[in-house]
Each structure stands twice: as structure tokens, then as C-alpha cells.
């Protein structure tokens, strides 16, 4: 009989209706409610991308393909899928409780964010493990999966295909990832270095001699990791006809891509009179899902 293992897929989460905006934003702010005005600004950003973010549906699609790939390739393990969000129900804790109710005693957890970060990914695992401790449920983690060959293969191919679209133009390439507050960086988070190393690797594979790295989607309060994408866009635009954005920090289409890149960066490119191009996000791409599956398989499972 196959050994049953829980597969805990954790992702950011997104509001499902207008009434979710306040609790969602309050969760992002670690329990401190935003002002009505801040919520109104956020609402306008969601409206600009069509009202809701596709994030929840895409996360579900990614998770379902992941568990399918894992189960099709394993003779001795059967993974059972549970999805939990950081900022929206079902929360990470709900998913762990559901695993326990389903009789799961051992699970592998993966975050839909590929780079290890004390601030970002580690907090998902902490929450999962804290709830799992109640039940004596053992959770092993995929700490990071940005070095999986299929992860790099996806971005190299997608970037090359986008460069082919603008091959007649002088092009600037900007790799982007979510910014982090500076106080987190000062605590020693290695996230900026690993993201930059990944950008370097992809650029080298694609044969780029020049590219830039920028941090996007910084919050409205405090100091954030720089250079910001708008600043880099202004610099790069001085010497090119088109800019290709490569958001390697994210795994799918959501607010930060559809608004911060496709609306905000595009508007800046229009103002600076350069063409805007963005590499397609991985979403449920098979090669990309393979990267996650490979990372899950690398996690040792205790024999029964």
C-alpha cells in the first residue's frame, strides 16, 4: 500500500470580495488596520485589474498540477493536497487542521514563493509548524526551489521568447522581485543576494551582456530595498527603445504583476517613450510545476 503524505501548498492569498479588503489588509499589516483611505486606494488597484486578482484560482491550479505530477511519478507515496493562505481563508492553520482531521501524520510543505527569506517564506513554515505541533503532525519543508533546473529553464525560455519579439529594437532587460523593508535586510535576510544570483544565472544562460535588477511593489510605509523599479526604468530608458521586465520574484499573474508591472511600469514606459514588454508568468506551466515537484521529491520522507 502507498504511504499517505500530506502536501501543504502555502500561498499569499487574495480578497474574494470587497468586504474581504479590510481584514486582508489588516492581516498583511500584522493586525494593524489600515485607514479607510488606504483601503480605498487598494480597492482602486484591484478594480484596475478587473475587480479581483486571479491569484487564488492560479494557486489552486498550480497545487492541483503539482500533486498530480507527484502522484503519477511515485510508486510508494500518495500525496494528499491541502492549500493554505497567509492572509486569507483558508489560512495556513486551517489547512494544517484539515490535514490532521484527514488522518495525516506527516507532510511536506512548499510555499508558492521560490526564494528563501527569513521575512517571507520562513514565516509561512513557522505558522504551519506551530499549528502542526498541536497534533504531533510532522512537517518537512521545501526551504527554497529557485535552484531547480526546471525553474531556471522556464525563465530562460520565456525570456528568450520575449526577446525574440523585440529583436529589431535596442532592448534593456530588468529583472524584478518584491522589495523588502530595510529593517529586515539589516537583520541579515539573504533574499536580495539569492534573487540577484538567480537573475545573473538566467542572464548568463540567455547570453545577455547587460541587464538590471530592481525591486518592485514596495509598501507605502518605511524604507524599502532599492533600487526601485521606477528608478531603474528611468535610467534604462535613456539608452534603449524597449524594456523587457522579468519578474522572477513571483510565480503567477496577480495584483503585483497585473498592476505594478502591466499598469504602473507600462505607464512609465509610455511617458518615457519606450516600448513595454513583460515575460509571461509561469502560472501552471508544466516545466515550472516540474521544478516544484522535483523540490518536493528531494524532501526525505520517514519510512513507515
Three cell numbers, residue 62: 498550480
Question: Looking at 12, 215, 245, 276, which residue binds ligand FEC (CB under 6 A)?
Answer: 12
- Complex with ligand FEC: residue 193 or 239, whichever CB lies closer: 193
Please give the helix or strand (H or E) that residue 192 lies within, else none: helix 191-206
The answer to whether residue 19 forms part of the interface with ligand FEC (CB under 6 A) is no
- Cβ-Cβ contacts under 8 Å for 260 (sequence gap 6 or more): 216, 217, 229
The answer to whether residue 131 forms part of the interface with ligand FEC (CB under 6 A) is no
Question: Looking at 5, 99, 242, 255, which residue binds ligand FEC (CB under 6 A)?
Answer: 255
- Number of chain positions touching ligand FEC (CB under 6 A): 19
In DSSP notation, 152-188 reads: HHHHHHHHHHHHHHTTTS-EEEEEEEE--BHHHHHTT
Q: Which parts of 98-127 interact with ligand FEC (CB under 6 A)? A: 113, 120
Stretch that binds ligand FEC, among 1-9, 166-174, 217-225, 272-280 (CB under 6 A): 217-225
Number of CB atoms found within 10 A of residue 277's CB: 19
Q: Is the torsion defined by CA of 88, 145, 60, 96 positive or negative?
A: negative
CA distances from 43 to 52, 133, 259 (A): 9, 37, 12
Q: Which parts of 170-189 interact with ligand FEC (CB under 6 A)? A: 178, 180-181
The answer to whether residue 51 forms part of the interface with ligand FEC (CB under 6 A) is no
Question: Looking at 20, 26, 28, 200, which residue binds ligand FEC (CB under 6 A)?
Answer: 28
Contact residues: ligand FEC, CB under 6 A: 12, 14, 25, 28-29, 42, 53, 55, 113, 120, 178, 180-181, 219-221, 254-256
Amino acid at each position: 500500500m502507498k504511504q499517505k503524505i500530506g502536501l501543504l501548498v502555502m500561498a499569499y492569498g487574495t480578497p474574494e470580495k470587497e468586504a474581504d479588503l479590510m481584514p486582508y489588509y489588516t492581516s498583511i499589516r500584522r493586525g494593524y488596520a489600515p485607514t479607510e483611505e488606504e483601503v480605498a486606494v487598494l480597492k482602486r488597484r484591484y478594480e484596475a485589474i478587473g475587480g479581483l486578482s486571479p491569484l487564488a484560482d492560479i494557486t489552486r491550479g498550480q497545487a492541483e498540477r503539482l500533486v498530480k505530477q507527484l502522484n503519477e511519478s511515485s510508486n510508494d507515496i500518495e500525496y494528499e493536497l491541502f492549500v493554505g493562505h497567509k492572509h486569507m481563508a483558508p489560512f495556513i492553520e486551517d489547512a494544517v487542521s484539515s490535514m490532521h482531521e484527514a488522518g495525516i501524520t506527516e507532510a511536506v510543505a512548499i510555499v508558492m514563493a521560490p526564494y528563501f527569506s527569513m521575512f517571507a517564506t520562513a514565516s509561512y513554515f513557522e505558522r504551519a509548524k506551530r499549528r502542526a505541533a498541536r497534533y504531533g503532525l510532522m512537517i518537512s519543508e521545501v526551504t527554497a526551489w529557485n535552484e531547480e533546473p526546471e525553474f531556471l529553464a522556464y525563465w530562460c525560455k520565456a525570456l528568450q521568447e520575449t526577446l525574440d519579439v523585440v529583436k529589431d529594437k535596442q532592448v534593456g532587460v530588468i529583472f524584478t522581485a518584491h522589495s523588502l523593508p530595510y529593517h529586515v535586510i539589516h537583520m541579515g535576510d539573504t533574499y536580495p543576494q539569492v534573487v540577484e544570483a538567480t537573475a545573473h544565472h538566467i542572464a548568463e544562460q540567455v547570453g545577455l551582456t547587460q541587464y538590471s535588477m530592481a525591486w518592485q511593489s514596495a509598501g507605502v510605509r518605511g524604507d524599502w530595498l532599492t533600487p526601485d523599479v521606477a528608478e531603474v526604468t528611468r535610467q534604462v530608458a535613456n539608452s534603449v527603445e524597449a524594456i523587457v521586465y522579468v519578474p522572477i520574484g513571483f510565480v503567477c499573474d496577480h495584483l503585483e504583476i497585473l498592476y505594478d508591472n502591466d499598469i504602473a511600469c507600462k505607464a512609465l514606459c509610455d511617458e518615457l517613450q519606450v516600448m513595454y514588454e513583460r515575460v509571461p508568468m509561469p502560472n501552471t506551466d508544466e516545466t515550472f510545476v516540474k521544478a516544484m515537484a522535483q523540490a518536493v521529491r528531494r524532501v526525505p520522507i520517514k519510512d513507515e
